[in-house]
Amino acid sequence: MSNMTLEETKALIQEVLEAYPDKARKDRAKHLAANDQSVEQSKKCIISNRKSQPGVMTIRGCAYAGSKGVVWGPIKDMVHISHGPVGCGAYSRAGRRNYYTGHTGVNTFGTMNFTSDFQEKDIVFGGDKKLEKLIDEIEQLFPLVKGVSVQSECPIGLIGDDIEAVAKKKTKEHGKPVVPVRCEGFRGVSQSLGHHIANDAIRDHVLGNRDDQAFESTPYDVAIIGDYNIGGDAWSSRILLEEMGLRVVAQWSGDGTLPEMELTPKVKLNLIHCYRSMNYISRYMEEKYSIPWMEYNFFGPTKIAESLRKIAAFFDETIQANAEKVIEKYQAEYEAVIAKYRPRLEGKKVMLYVGGLRPRHVIGAYEDLGMEVVGTGYEFAHNDDYDRTIKEVDNATLLYDDVTGYEFEEFVKRVKPDLIGSGIKEKYIFQKMGVPFRQMHSWDYSGPYHGYDGFAIFARDMDMTVNNPCWNSMQAPWLKPAAAETEATAASA
Amino acid sequence: MPNVMIRKNETGALLFYVAKKDMEETIASVEQDSAERWGGEVALTDGSRWYIDPISPPPSFPTTLRFRRVDD
């Protein structure tokens, strides 16, 4: 952070912590840190993946959100039943904008909401019969469905329904995978455990399905893992890989299908974008099928070029030459983007607070635009995420894990960033405080942001937000001092 | 006695990964690491020490093994 030293950042953290009672302060202190690149292991400076303090405002989700909303939901040719009361599915329906191609309701089901709509009698007498009926109905109404996943909501675990038995019976009956997922919301401290549970369910019920089938493979088969195609992200990543001469066999799970996932064990390399939500399955595939995996980053031209070269290094010289060609091909395009937006965004400060991979992955894209990330934090990261983050951000940058509403506001008041990237729950607070804001969970209804095509959109969106004329109108005209007014008119003219 | 997944990282060093414990450390030294046997006491870079009965012939990585914490 250019304008704050390590001591100043530490002092700021102490000052913000002052407001808490002793016990809460002790706990929260472990989650806030000033980045120090000399620290080798993040657990020495920041604690993560712990239960949130009662009484503070947290922005985390639940295990069901991690499983149904993130990992399973985007698989387009399966029906994902929100098993339990109606709300969880209804309020999360289609919110994440995982784009896909297909005819919704015929062969794809991404934006539809299927729920068993638990009533009192289902809680009292159990909901297994209802689930059976529901699966039969789905089979009847949507014969093109490739499989069904049962995403448990809290009551399923509480009343002890045996969804595994139902799933087993129905798998046999319909000859299609019915996957029970034990992702009850109360499990774990955040959505992160939901990702893990979902990965385990894929491992147990999907991955091995085609082990004994022949597959015409090429030496260039890869799978995109952990790209959820938000606003078309996976598509703008996929074309780069295909231009390099690689064959993308599967997309996990944005615009992905069940057969694609079943074929993933046949690929030569797993490319993993969102490390947090899908490293588990990559590790498993490495062990069982000896498929190496690597993390890559498709945000901003610098990181894209770096990643393309790193990916190409796994393959032969043709691919390596192709990677250079791809970078060259898009060079004029991204240089024009930088030339246009960099002067408008140079030196602006950004604070991020998102989940998954973005708090560290998008830093490169901001830096390409001359912007500076002065604070970053994760909702549900583990230590391994912070291990990776420490190297990405500058010294003395503010790091906050599972930040509370109060802390985030105080940090913003003091650090005074020019842009905040966070979720919808924070958006209006900061906009009312007069700070430009981008909702970075689903790209503020824009996107894609991955790849070279995405970078152009990313740059445009950041400029549109930071340099929006509305930020000069935060004060009512009659409250403005006369001098400032003339200045403002002069500036805008 | 956690199940530990041992894998090689990019530089060829062995990583010691315990899924639910949120732990990924580099292995600093292995007591017995020869063509015939692999195992014994394993020291990690964070200072903790773990034990596994030596395996012969050495396993191919990545693999999942059960380790015991060495108490001293």
Q: Cis link prior to A48 (omega < 30° from 0)? A: no
Tens digits of residue pLDDT in A8-23:
999 999 999 999 999 9
Q: Are residues A352 and A423 in contact, defined by beta-carbon separation less than 8 angstroms?
A: no
Q: Mark yes or no for CB contact B62/A286 under 8 Å.
A: yes
What ipTM does this complex have?
0.89
Tens digits of residue pLDDT in A98-151:
999 999 999 999 999 999 999 999 999 999 999 999 999 999 999 999 999 999
CA dihedral (A480, A486, A489, A493) in degrees, to 10, reads: -170
B3-69 CATH fold: OB fold (Dihydrolipoamide Acetyltransferase, E2P) (2.40.50)
Tokens of A471: 């930020």
A62 has catalytic annotation: yes
Give, for A167, the enclosing helix (H) or strand (E). Answer: helix A163-174
Tokens of A213: 């089938």
Tokens of A391: 């190297």
Q: Tell me the three-class secondary structure of A214-234, residue by residue.
A: CCCCCCCEEEEEEECCECCHH
CA distances in angstroms from B49 to A212, B4, B5, B27, listed in the order given = 41, 13, 16, 10
A459 has catalytic annotation: no
Record the pTM.
0.93
Q: Mark yes or no for CB contact B22/A384 under 8 Å.
A: yes
Rounded Cα distance between A177 and A181, Å, is 12
What are the phi and psi torsion angles at A304 (to 5°)?
Answer: -65, -50
Q: Mark yes or no for CB contact B5/A387 under 8 Å.
A: no
Among all residues of chain B, which has the CA nearest to that of A294?
Answer: B10
Give, for B8, the enclosing helix (H) or strand (E). Answer: strand B3-8
Average pLDDT in the A341-362 region? 95
Rounded Cα distance between A90 and A7, Å, is 47
Q: By C-alpha distance, which of B27, B17, B49 is closest to B41?
A: B49
A vs B, Cβ pairs < 8 A, gives 25
Better-predicted residue by pLDDT, A4 or A114: A114
Q: Mark yes or no for CB contact B5/A41 under 8 Å.
A: no
* pLDDT for the residue numbered B23: 79
Q: Cis link prior to A292 (omega < 30° from 0)? A: no
**Band of the pLDDT at A420, cuts 50, 70, 90?**
very high
- How far off is chain A from B44, nearest CA to CA, in Å? 12
Average pLDDT in the A443-449 region? 93
Count the helix, strand and coil residues of chain B and give each as a percent rounded to the nearest 5. 0, 60, 40
Rounded Cα distance between A381 and A392, Å, is 15
Tens digits of residue pLDDT in A275-286:
999 999 999 999
Tokens of A9: 């950042």
Give, for A250, the enclosing helix (H) or strand (E). Answer: strand A247-253
| Residues composing chain A | 493
Rounded Cα distance between A77 and A94, Å, is 15
* pLDDT for the residue numbered A12: 94
Domain ranges of chain B: 3-69
Q: Using a CB-CB distance cutoff of 8 angstroms, which residues of chain B are in contact with residue A200?
A: none
* pLDDT for the residue numbered A336: 97
The domains found in chain A, sorted by start residue, are: 1-60+347-493 (3.40.50.1980), 63-210 (3.40.50.1980), 221-326 (3.40.50.1980)
Q: Using a CB-CB distance cutoff of 8 angstroms, which residues of chain B are in contact with residue A283?
A: 5, 7, 17, 19, 62
- DSSP for residue A98: B
* Average pLDDT along chain A: 93
A195 has catalytic annotation: yes
Q: Are residues A401 and A7 in contact, defined by beta-carbon separation less than 8 angstroms?
A: no
Q: Are residues A184 and A156 in contact, defined by beta-carbon separation less than 8 angstroms?
A: yes
Residues 11-70 of B with CB under 8 A from A: 17, 19-20, 22-24, 45-46, 62-64
Q: Mark yes or no for CB contact B17/A41 under 8 Å.
A: no
